[in-house]
Amino acid sequence: MTLLSDQAYRRIDRELAKFPAEQRISATMAALAIAQEEKGWLSTETIEDVAKYLGVPPIAVQEVATFYNMFDTKPVGTFKISVCTNLPCALRDGEKAGEYLKKKLGIGYGETTADGRFSLVEGECMGACGDAPVLIVNNRRMCVQMSDERLEALLGELNTTAGDAS
Ligand code: FES
């Protein structure tokens, strides 16, 4: 039994084509990203399915999935907001932005709102330290200079968006 759609496997095939045939493991990150995009998060079954498709040991895929914080091995909300809390951001209102979001959403880091809409996590440096506070929505949409006003506008926008608007 396969867990992903045909379209997802075709996308993985395109990633595999970028590497030599004996290096299928090199497509692991791309394949996991595709799987997560489709399933919302990476269950053990999904990770095993990706490993089987790539023809690599499941533990190798599991290690990648659990090492990088852009991969979610537990269910997350429709919108996962990762706030950079590394030092340069922390020194420039990064913590304040995190506190603002915690208060507004009524959740802490690592938690999801009861309606399943928002998850809040601490993120690592996103390479935009000069534009702190920085956050990223669903691993794809980078938001910079997140003052209280901009955070409010972002939440307002996401609250009126049906699905993944990242
Ligand atoms: S420390 Fe936050 S983006 Fe670099």
Q: Which is it for the CA torsion 65, 38, 1, 22, positive or negative?
A: negative
From ligand 1's centre to the CA of 129, what distance in Å? 4
Quick one: tokens of 118? 């928002």
Going by CATH, does the domain composed of 6-67 fall within 3.40.50.2000?
Answer: no
User: What does the pLDDT look like over 70-94, one tens digit per residue?
Assistant: 899 999 999 999 999 999 999 999 9
Q: pLDDT class for 2, splitting at 50, 70, 90?
A: low
Q: What is the pTM of this model?
A: 0.84
Superfamily grouping for domain 79-160: Glutaredoxin (3.40.30.10)
Locate the domains of the chain by residue range. 6-67, 79-160
From ligand 1's centre to the CA of 20, what distance in Å? 35
DSSP string, 100-159: HHHHHHT--TTEE-TTS-EEEEEE---S-GGG-S-EEETTTEEE-S--HHHHHHHHHHHH
Q: How many degrees, rounded to 5, is the angle at CA 42 between CA 127 and CA 105?
A: 65
Contacts of 91 (CB under 8 A, 6+ apart): 132
Q: Where are the alpha helices (DSSP H) in 6-93?
A: 6-16, 28-39, 44-54, 58-67, 87-90
Residue 67 has pLDDT above 80, yes or no: yes
47 vs 58: CA distance, rounded Å: 7
Pick the closest to residue 29 from 3, 55, 67 (CA basis): 67
For residue 97 and ligand 1, the question of a CB distance below 6 A is answered with no
From ligand 1's centre to the CA of 67, what distance in Å? 19
Atom of ligand 1 at shortest range from CA of 123: 2
Atom of ligand 1 at shortest range from CA of 87: 1
What's the pLDDT at 165? 44
For residue 89 and ligand 1, the question of a CB distance below 6 A is answered with yes
